């Protein structure tokens, strides 16, 4: 039987927008694609956390079977009858799982009791959409400390633009993390910055739009505090991505030559 843990108090629609950025590119709507992901979860005996409104519990359960023809997913019930009854009363269920380091999330309607291989289980209808999200889908290269890379971010304050010079922490084809002094950049997730300039040594300047996705205060070895800001690229040009790719390849060659 599946187990449970008391760490959830509601249901969040997974088709919404994550605070770190737009998740719509990661949504699956094709019935064939959704069925393929579910089959992989069943084959791997992947566990899913099932959250439901009106209960303080989470059901951690394996997916037992998926039947695309019937449009049905079967999953194991709990050893707790109280939890099973609470789940049965819920009108909406949120499933959260992962496969090959990819986060999978979808919502369904209510569950019904079925029999699976001679024992009690639950069944729900297959979802109309599914979030298949791999945040770290791009390889990230750390910027060299000995040769800092500048990222100049225009910040609007008091109806005027001021260029804030930050230092690159890492870079990928999907975005960058920069280091700034506390207070230099607005502490606002989702803030958009146009015409940011990344000065890549021996490669050229890359001009991109950035959207802040996360922030973390770091204490350096010397005791000084810095703000690490993770940013996504906003509609980068192909030429900008090509420059970034060449720079990352050179960083990788340099790293291998030192090993």
Instruction: Kindly report, residue by residue over 69-97, the tens digit of the pLDDT.
Output: 999 999 999 888 888 998 999 999 999 88
The span from the CA of 105 to the CA of 211, in Å, is 24
Residue 147 clears pLDDT 70, i.e. is over it: yes
Confidence (pLDDT) at 13: 38
Structural domains of the chain in order of their starting residue, each with its CATH number = 3-133 (2.30.110.10), 141-258 (2.40.10.220)
The DSSP element (H or E) to which 65 belongs, if any, is: strand 58-67
Region 91-108: mean pLDDT is 85
Report whether 83 contacts 57 (CB < 8 A).
Answer: yes
Encoding tokens for residue 97? 């799982």
The span from the CA of 242 to the CA of 248, in Å, is 10
DSSP per residue, 126-171: PPS-EEEE-TT-S--EEPPSSS--EEEEEEEETTEEEEEEEEEEEE
101-114 burial by CB neighbour count: b if 16+ within 10 A, else e? ebebbbbbeebeeb
The DSSP element (H or E) to which 52 belongs, if any, is: strand 47-52
Region 23-30: mean pLDDT is 73
Region 55-73: mean pLDDT is 85
| Residue-wise pLDDT tens digits, 186-207 | 868 888 999 999 999 877 899 9
Encoding tokens for residue 58? 């989470």
Which comes out higher in pLDDT, residue 208 or 19?
208
- Name the nearest CA neighbour of 77 among 55, 93, 61: 61
pLDDT band at residue 153 under the 50/70/90 scheme: very high
Write phi, then psi, for 183 (nearest 5 degrees): 95, -15
Region 167-179: mean pLDDT is 90
pLDDT band at residue 100 under the 50/70/90 scheme: low
């Amino acid at each position: 039987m599946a187990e449970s843990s008391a760490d959830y108090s509601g249901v969040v629609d997974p088709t919404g927008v994550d605070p770190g950025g737009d998740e719509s590119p990661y949504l699956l709507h094709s019935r064939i694609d959704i069925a393929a992901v579910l089959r992989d979860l069943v084959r791997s005996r992947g566990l899913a956390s099932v959250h439901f409104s009106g209960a303080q519990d989470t059901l951690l359960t394996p997916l037992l079977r998926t039947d695309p023809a019937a449009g049905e997913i079967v999953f194991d019930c709990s050893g707790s009858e109280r939890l099973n009854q609470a789940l049965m009363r819920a009108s909406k269920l949120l499933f959260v799982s992962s496969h090959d380091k990819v986060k999978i999330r979808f919502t369904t309607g209510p569950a019904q009791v079925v029999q699976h291989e001679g024992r009690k289980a639950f069944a729900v209808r297959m979802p109309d959409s599914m979030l298949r999200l791999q945040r770290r889908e791009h390889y990230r290269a750390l910027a060299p400390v000995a040769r800092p890379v500048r990222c100049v971010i225009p910040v609007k304050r008091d109806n005027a633009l001021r260029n804030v010079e930050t230092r690159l922490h890492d870079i990928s084809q999907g975005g960058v993390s920069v280091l700034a002094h506390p207070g230099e950049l607005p502490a606002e997730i989702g803030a958009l910055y146009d015409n940011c300039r990344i000065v890549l040594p021996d490669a050229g300047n890359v001009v991109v739009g950035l959207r802040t996705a996360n922030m973390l205060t770091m204490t350096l070895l010397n005791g000084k505090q810095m703000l690490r800001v993770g940013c996504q690229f906003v509609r980068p040009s192909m030429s900008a991505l090509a420059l970034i790719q060449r720079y990352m390849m050179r960083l990788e060659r340099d790293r291998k030559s030192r090993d």
